[in-house]
A and B are shown apart, each in its own frame.
Chain A
Amino acid sequence: MANPRTKLIAITAKDAGLVGCTRCTAVWPLEQTRCGRCKAPLQSRDERSLSRVWAWWWAGLLFYIPANIYPMLITRTLLQEQESTIIGGAIDIALHGDIAVAAIIIIASVVIPLAKFVAIAFLAISSRRGTRVPGQQRHLLYEAVEFIGRWSMIDVFVVAITSALVQLNVVASVTPGPAAIAFALSVIFTMLSAQSFDSRMIWDQIEGDERA
């Protein structure tokens, strides 16, 4: 139909009745279930990939809720005890005038995790239902999610370091709240979700479209 470039890539390994080993890159017939060279299990397509993606995705999303409801940091000073949630803390900082710091917190702790959820969900749905978005862009999106996933833990690191440093006993102390653990779990689950996604399915969909 439209795109001449996609037409050029017409045959996949699966089309050719072959399956490549993802570990040692040897090519085997589709029937082969185990690599003859490195003994790794062979799978032309991971049929359960999407299921795992969704499972991790839901888990991550569930933990993301308490991560925002419960306090991230509990700050005790001499006279008062303050509990800050992620967004509440960011707003406090913004009201104090540190717009840049507030923006970093909002981006790292709210915008990016939410964007990851959306991106993973989009990739998973599109690999099943189809989309107009070209495969290249979807693959770029997948790589971006993969890359950025590890940096999402920066919030947890900040909380951990702050808690370790600010321990002045009675005068002032900072302890991580329950949201810190929830947030860390949420990030971990999101990363696992992204890892579970079999990126080859992006291209299968294109093939299917073209065939249709």
Chain B
Amino acid sequence: MSQPPEVEIEPVRESLWQRISVVWLIPLFAVAVAFGLAWQNYSEQGPYVEVYFGEATGIEAGETPVRYRDVVVGIVEDVGFTEDLSRVRVGLRLQPEVASYVDDDAQFWIVSAEVGPRGVTGLETVLSGAFIEVLWDNNAEGLQSEFAGNDHAPLVRPGSEGLKILLRATSGGGLVEGTPILYRGIEVGRIGRPVISEDGNYTIAEAFVEAPHNRLINSSTRFWDTSGFTFSIGADGAEIDFQSLAALLGGGVSFDTVISGGQPIGDNQLFRLFPDENSARSSVFSDPDNETRVQLMTVFDSNASGLTVGAPVQLGGITVGEVVGLTGLIDEATFGDVNVRLLATIAIRPTRIGLEDDVGREEVIDLLETQVQEGLRARLAAANILTGGLKIELADIPNAVPASIDRAAIPFPIFPSVDAELSSGTATAEGILDRINALPVEEVLASAINLMDNTSRLLGSSETQAIPGQVNGLLQDTRNLVGSEEIQAIPDQIGATAEAISEVAQDLQAIVDQFEEQQGIERLLAAVDAAGQTAEALTARTDGIPDLIDRITDLAADLDALDLAGVVNRTEALLASADDLISSEDTLALPGQLNAALAEINTSLSTFREEQGIETLLAAIENAGSAAAALEQSTEQLPQFVDNITQLSERIRDLPLDTAVTEAAEFLESASALLETEGAAELPSSLNGALAEVEAVLGELRAGGVVENVNGALASASNAASAIETATESLPAVIARLNTVLAQAGDTLASVGSDSSLNAEARAALRDIQRAADAVASLARAIERRPNSLLTGR
């Protein structure tokens, strides 16, 4: 076994590089990288500045950014307090590239969402949270490490050009931070935070007008508040004014350079803020520093209600001044009484009447004095009809009482005045208003209301509303009636009737012609002559007639006293029944039948004419003429006859007619009952039948030569007439006998008393008549049941 080689106990000491593992490079590299990063971080880190705020709303360390023109330039690193805890200390880490600009004029403020009259600002901070905004100018002047933060955004942003002014207002209404300054409606600047002036009388606010609008402002510029709107009623009428809707809501300040000649101004010039545009513009005149004013006094006797301080003083329509004071005045020495007068103090502006601004007071009064001597006077005039406002007018009064300016008056010279001449327009308008006032409007309205109520009630009643329906029904019925066949048929029937009548007329004409041919007229005239002679004879003997008439009159009066009313009523009922009867269908059918009957008559007449009945008639008339002559002779004895008749009438008047009238009334009642029965209604149809029978009979008559018989009868009549003629010759004797008979009758009647047997018999006779009427009534009932029996006889 070979000896193993000697083991080297001590290993060769290796070099450091050999012993150190390359793995060490890794931690070395890591350390290098770490140091590198640390160095980079440190070298890139910007400046740390501390800003002190009153409160740190929404500021969070490590999160809240710092922005310059809305670009993040840093971040809040820590938030703490000052040593006495009075303010918040906010540490900011800014980016290095802005470091040199964060110099003295850098301003820091906190931006958070804010809702104000100008709208919502900082809306982006609602989500992202508040941030700190910083502004500085463009000059790098070295880093500052401590700043006092603003509570609000600065009015004047560093670096912006413009004009910074101060605005003074008596009330802070128009001075609100952030209120825009408007020029002709365009925003040209803003108002800063107002503060109270040292003496406490004003509020003063900084305002900044941006270039180039700052050149619009000079020493003559006037500022006024356009917040909200202004509403005023003055001597010039009502006025409402506002600048814009934004200004209405959020307010605003406007300005204008009212007069020329202003001087350029520098920063921090103080301006007064007027409450409205009018006062701003008129301030040019009212500002005592600005223009000389000459104060005068004037005295008015009349009522001056409506004149106020500030009312215009006008010369020829141009406002040359205003009323600056009003007071009462009692001056017994001047006016001779103790009445209270109105003393108005007015301020006249010389520039307004054409004088230079720098004229002296005396020169102005001298000028006015000249005018006064030519008739210039002060008087009250209506400035506004509606409001009754008054103004003072300087007017040339022709033929004015000479007067002058009282220069000696204290405190101001007194300007002469005349009585107020209120325009007639005012009086007329007042008169119209008075008359309108006096109108009885209430009464008219009450009546109108009543009328409308009644109309409404009438129109609303159910009866009124039913009218149209009833009218409709009526029209419907009328249409049905007119459209009925019966009515339609009537014209035809009437036509046929007229035709028949025409034929009859022709026939009659023929008869008359024939009559004329045979000198019937002459004969007729002879007969008439005879009748005339008879009449004369009668006239001669009518002496007793008036007496007779008197008696008849008495009789009529007695008859009048009788109970006729009942009779009349019943008669009316009878007529009503008759009316119903006539309106029945059968009655309507009558014309047709009549037609036929007329046709028959026509035929008969023509037959009669053919048989020369006329001549026979003429003969009869001739005989009648003879008879009339005979009568003429016999009339001589008429007076006696009349006397007798008169006596008879007297007797008759004494008769108990009352009972008879009653009975007659009963009879009429019965007749009415009869007509009211159904049978009566059917009578027309029966009559129709009867007419048909008549027609048939006539036909038969014509066929049976009745006309010849008539002719015979007429011949007999002619004979009878001649016999009468003969008889009349003996008429005087007959009349004498009649006289005797009448005398006897008169005696007889005289014996007829109320208890006489004749009276009793008369009553019995009437009873019989009554019974007969009853029988007729029963007959009528029978006929009602069986109308045919009237014709058939059964």
Residues on A lying within 8 angstroms of B by beta carbon are: 17, 30-31, 47-48, 51-52, 55-56, 58-59, 62-63, 66, 79, 189, 192, 196
Contact = CB atoms under 8 A, between A and B. Distances in A.
Given A48-B21, A51-B19, A51-B20, A59 B26 contact: yes
12 contacts: A31-B5, A52-B21, A52-B23, A55-B21, A56-B27, A59-B23, A59-B27, A59-B30, A62-B30, A62-B31, A62-B34, A79-B127
Given A17-B7, A55-B24, A48 B34 contact: no
Given A51-B19, A52-B21, 11 more contacts: A17-B4, A48-B21, A51-B20, A51-B23, A51-B24, A55-B26, A56-B26, A59-B26, A59-B27, A63-B30, A196-B23
Interface of B: 4-5, 7, 19-21, 23-24, 26-27, 30-31, 34, 127
Nearest to B24: A55
Contacts of A66: 34
A48 B602 CA distance: 179
A30 B5 CA distance: 11
Contacts of B27: 55-56, 58-59, 62
Contacts of A56: 23, 26-27
A58 B30 CA distance: 9
Nearest to B14: A47
Nearest to A189: B26
Nearest to A62: B30
Which 4 pairs, one residue from A and one from B, show the smallest C-beta to C-beta distance?
A59-B27, A55-B23, A58-B27, A55-B24
Contacts of B4: 17
B763 to A, nearest CB: 136
A30 B34 contact: no
A187 to B, nearest CB: 14
A48 B31 CA distance: 22
Nearest to A182: B30
A67 B304 CA distance: 97
Contacts of A52: 21, 23
B644 to A, nearest CB: 149
Given A59-B30, A62-B34, A63-B30, A30 B23 contact: no
Contacts of B30: 59, 62-63
Given A55-B21, A62-B34, A30 B26 contact: no
Nearest to A59: B27
Contacts of A47: 19
A63 B30 CA distance: 8
Nearest to A61: B27
Given A66-B34, A79-B127, A51 B21 contact: yes
Contact of B19 (A48, A189, A192, A196): A48
Contacts of A17: 4, 7
Which of A51, A59, A63 has most chain B Cβ within 10 Å? A59
Contacts of B21: 48, 51-52, 55
A30 B9 CA distance: 12
A192 B30 CA distance: 16
A30 B7 contact: yes
A13 to B, nearest CB: 14
A62 B29 CA distance: 10
Nearest to B30: A62
Nearest to B29: A59
A192 B27 CA distance: 13
A17 B24 CA distance: 32
Nearest to A81: B63
Nearest to B25: A55
Contacts of A79: 127
A189 to B, nearest CB: 7
Contacts of B20: 51
Contacts of A51: 19-21, 23-24
Contacts of A189: 26
A63 B4 CA distance: 50
Contacts of B19: 47-48, 51
B12 to A, nearest CB: 12
Contacts of A31: 5
Nearest to B37: A66
A91 B581 CA distance: 127
A195 to B, nearest CB: 11
B435 to A, nearest CB: 76
Contacts of A62: 27, 30-31, 34
Contacts of B23: 51-52, 55-56, 59, 192, 196
A30 B7 CA distance: 9
A31 B23 CA distance: 27
B201 to A, nearest CB: 50
Nearest to B23: A55
A47 B402 CA distance: 142
A48 B26 CA distance: 16
B556 to A, nearest CB: 129
B62 to A, nearest CB: 10
A63 B26 CA distance: 11
Contacts of B5: 31
Nearest to A65: B34
B431 to A, nearest CB: 77
Nearest to A196: B23
